Amino acid sequence: MCEEARMSKMKVFEAGVSGLLQEVEKSEPNTFAKAKEHGIDAKLIAASVLKEYKNNSLQVGASYVAAGLRRAIAEADSSELKGTLLLGPRDSFGRKQSINIGACNKKGETFELSTWDPKISVNGVQQDIQYPAIATVHVTEEEFQRKDGSLASNLKLISVSDLKPISAEDVAKKLAPLAENPSSITAEDCKEYKVVIIKGMVSSIVPADRWENKQKLAKPHNLVENNELNVSHPVFVMNLNRTQPEGFAEGTSTRINFNQRRFTVPTVLSEDLILLINKVKDKFKDDPVSQAREVSNGLRDFPVIVVGVASRLNAAKDKSGAMVNYLDISGYLVVEYPESGDNSPEESPREQDVAAPSQKKSKPEKPAEKPVTKQPKEIADHIQAITDYCNTFGITPAELTRDKVVTDILGKGIKVGIVDDALAQARENWEE
């Protein structure tokens, strides 16, 4: 028997680590050489494959080692984004497309991460992620061509570390100061498929349209469907009450589509919404219109925050003949608006509430101190706001002036003496 034939029948446990690496070097010399250039421990990867796939053929084992080397190379070439808020994934049933994950950095800037694998590498282990979560993400930037021929770039998710799931209440508090009135979304945002965070009141829940071969079917989706992994999840369209921007009487009508997914599920963080959907799917079995009507009756004027991709903005006449901006959003996440806090769904976010440590700052962040209990609550809140702002932008309170504090942090209408006292105490706390 020739050497090549003998090797083809060899098992992973017979080849061992050295045999696996020899096979990879022969079959994928470029990958092997690049891994060596990056200083990647190929023996460690091969040992892991040996342990898990010892009874498979050498060819299969070498393929897994090569895949492990490629992942390690990609991670070595990647950029690190610490403190990224992962909000949820999105893909479409029956469509072979990448999985996109809505995300937000510490500066409050939104973006998408893309991957082809529903399982994410977390500290070297492929696994499902529980959303929402805060993590350090490792990404590479890739350029692609849109349908209209224009060039754009996206962030390819390589791996995740320091993963920490967070509660619905916590993510609502983080998103509340970032959430915009839907009327502020522009046609340019839709052209760029921007990830947006909006707030509003539910006007209705309606069934999502069902499509086949690019044709809309007569019967829409039930409010619960299965993805291609046979995992059930909510499928619906949420309409928000019409919002009116300043100087634009017609207003904006917003539709958020939580479509049937391929491998993922939407991040629905409303206990009331989930309870109602689970109730109506049995009460009105295979009757999506009645299902949606029942849920709408329970959720009308319900305050929510939604994260999604702005996909279309069209001006058209409504039933009364008035011109309206119709905004379509592909949803990642919906969460109940927090009951406590300074913002309501009708107010604009306060800039000082946005926790946004800069990715480019190398200065270590100083942990925010608890409010000084000896101070009146009003001043203690101002001290905390100043401290949060400094942590956000990597500066110290000593670098702030009174005018800067008033303009960028606390806002006008606060007595000068209170501003000075809060700034002085924040400086003192920072030095301790």
The proportion of the chain whose per-residue pLDDT surpasses 90, expressed as a percent, equals 53
**Bridge partners of 254?**
240, 327
Amino acid identity at 14: E
The DSSP call for residue 113 is E
Are the C-beta atoms of residues 121 and 159 closer than 8 Å to each other? yes
| C-alpha atoms less than 13 angstroms from C-alpha of 205 in its C-beta half-sphere | 30
Pairing of the two strands 303-317 and 323-336: antiparallel
Given pLDDT bands bounded at 50, 70 and 90, which one contains residue 422? confident
Confidence at residue 8, expressed as pLDDT on a 0 to 100 scale: 62
Report the number of secondary-structure helices (H) and strands (E) in the chain. 12, 17
DSSP class of residue 11 equals B
The closest of 351, 337, 349, 132 to 241, measured between CA atoms, is: 337
CA angle 388, 337, 192 (to 5 degrees): 80
Q: Quick one: pLDDT at residue 346?
A: 43
Flag whether the pTM goes above 0.75: no
**Alpha helices for 130-183 (secondary structure H):** 168-175
Do residues 136 and 178 lie in contact, with contact meaning Cβ atoms separated by under 8 Å? Answer: no
**pLDDT for 349:** 33
Give buried/exposed letters for 186-225 (b at 16+ CB in 10 A, else e): eeebbeebbbbbbbbbbbbbbbbebbeeeeeeeebbbbbb
**Closest by Cα among 116, 328, 90 to 227:** 90
What is the spatial distance between Cα 312 and Cα 328, in angstroms, rounded to a whole number?
5
CA dist., res. 62 & res. 69, Å (int):
10
pLDDT in tens, 286-324: 999 999 999 999 999 999 999 999 999 998 887 777 788
Which residues make Cβ contacts (< 8 Å) with residue 354, sequence separation at least 6? Answer: 107, 108, 177, 178, 392
Report d(CA 304, CA 185) in Å as an integer: 17
Say how far residue 22 (Cα) sits from the centre of its chain: 41
Percentage above 70 pLDDT, the chain: 84
Residue type, 97: Q
Q: What's the pLDDT at 356? A: 33
CA distance 382 to 105: 24
> What is the per-residue pLDDT for 116?
92
* Strand 125-127 to 303-317 pairing: unpaired
Q: How many CB atoms lie within 10 A of CB 31?
A: 18
Residue with tokens 């990830």: 195
Question: Measured between alpha carbons, how far is 199 from 190 in angstroms, rounded to an integer?
Answer: 17
pLDDT at residue 247 is higher than 80: no
* Structural domains of the chain ordered from first start: 3-76 (no CATH), 79-167 (2.40.50), 172-336 (no CATH), 361-431 (no CATH)
C-alpha distances in angstroms, 244 versus 184, 241, 343?
Answer: 9, 10, 18
Residue 58 has pLDDT above 80, yes or no: yes
Average pLDDT over residues 343-369: 36
How many angstroms separate the CA atoms of 101 and 205, rounded? 24
Confidence of residue 46 (pLDDT cuts 50, 70, 90): very high
**Encoded tokens for 109:** 């800037």
Tell me, what's the pLDDT at 20? 92
> What distance lies between CA 355 and its chain's CA centroid?
16
Q: Is the per-residue pLDDT at 229 higher than 50?
A: yes
Rg over CA atoms, the chain = 26
What ranges in 218-369 are assigned the alpha helix state H? 271-283, 288-299
List the structure tokens of 298. Answer: 């329970």
Of 328, 343, 351, 424, nearest to 383 (Cα)? 424
Task: Tell me the CA end-to-end span of the chain in Å, nearest whole number.
Answer: 77
